[in-house]
Structure 1
Amino acid sequence: MVFLITGASGFIGFHLAKALLARGNTVIGIDNLNDYYSPLLKQARCDQLKQFQNFYFYQMDIADQPAMESILKQHHDIKIIFNLAAQAGVRYSLENPFAYIQTNITGHLTILELARHLPKLQRIFYASSSSVYGLNKHLPFSEQDRVDRPSSVYAASKQSAELLSFTYHHLYGLKQTGLRFFTVYGPWGRPDMAYYLFAKAIAENKPITLYEGENLSRDFTYISDVIDGLISLLECPDLDGYEIYNIGNSRQEQVENLITCLEKSMQKKAKINRITRPNTDIEATLSDITAIYKKTGWSPKTRLDEGIQYFTDWFQNFNN
Structure 2
Amino acid sequence: MKILVTGAAGFIGSNLAEKLAKRGDSVVGLDNFNDYYDPAKKRANEQRLIAYPNFRMVEQDIRQRQAMFDLFETEKFDAVAHLAAMAGVRNAVLHPDLYVQVNLNGTQNLMDATRTVGGVQNFVMASTSSVYGNTTQIPFVETDNCDRPLQPYAAAKRAAEMLGHAYHHLYGLNFTVLRFFTVYGPNGRPDMMAYLVAESVAKGVQIPLYDGGQMYRDWTFVEDITDGVVAALDRPLGYEIINLGRGEPTLLKEFVQMIETLGGRAANVVHKPRLAADFVKNQADISKARRLLGYNPQISVAEGVQRFWEWYEKTILSESPT
TM-score category of the 2 structures, normalised to the smaller one: over 0.9
CA offsets, 1:275-314, max 9 Å, x none?
A: 1011001111100001011123312111112111111111
Per-residue deviation, residues 209-261 of structure 1 (Å, max 9, x unmatched)? 2111574110000001111112223334xx43100100001001000111111
Name the CA shift for 1:83/1:209 in 2 (closer, same or farther; >3 Å). Answer: same
Give secondary structure in 2 for the equivalent of 1:5: strand
Partner of 1:242: 239
Deviations 1:158-214 (A, max 9, x none): 001001101111110101100100010000011111111111111112343211157
Match of 1:223 in 2: 222
Aligned to 1:313: 310
Residues 256-271 of structure 1 aligned to structure 2 (within 5 Å)? 256-271=253-268
Over the matched positions of the two proteins, sequence identity in percent amounts to 39
TM-score by length of 1: 0.96
Which residue of structure 2 aligns with residue 287 of structure 1? 284
CA distance in 2, matches of 1:179, 1:49: 23
* Deviating 4+ runs (over 4 angstroms): none
Q: How does 1:187-198 map to 2 (within 5 A)?
A: 187-198=186-197
Q: What RMSD over aligned residues (CA atoms) do the two structures have, in Å?
A: 1.3
Amino acid at match of 2:27: V
Give SS of 1:146's match. Answer: coil
Q: In the alignment, what sits opposite 1:185? A: 184
Between Structure 1 and Structure 2, which shows a larger proportion of helix residues?
2
Q: 1:95 and 1:208 mapped to 2: Cα distance?
A: 19
- Tell me which amino acid in the other structure corresponds to 1:11: F
Counterpart for residue 145 of structure 1: 144
Retained in 2: the 8 A contact 1:136–1:146?
Answer: no
Tell me, which stretches of 5 or more residues in structure 2 are unaligned? Answer: none
2:33 pairs with 1:33: yes
Distance in 2 separating the partners of 1:252 and 1:135: 15
CA shift, 1:317, in A, is 1.7
Q: Which amino acid aligns with 2:32?
A: N
SS in 2 for 1:286: coil
Count residues in correspondence.
Answer: 317
Aligned to 1:253: 250
1:60 and 1:2 map into 2 onto residues whose CA distance is 18
SS in 2 for 1:30: strand
Deviates more, 1:201-210 or 1:278-287: 201-210
The match for 1:297 is 294
Q: For the residues of structure 1 that align with 2:66 and 2:276, how far apart are their CA atoms?
A: 38
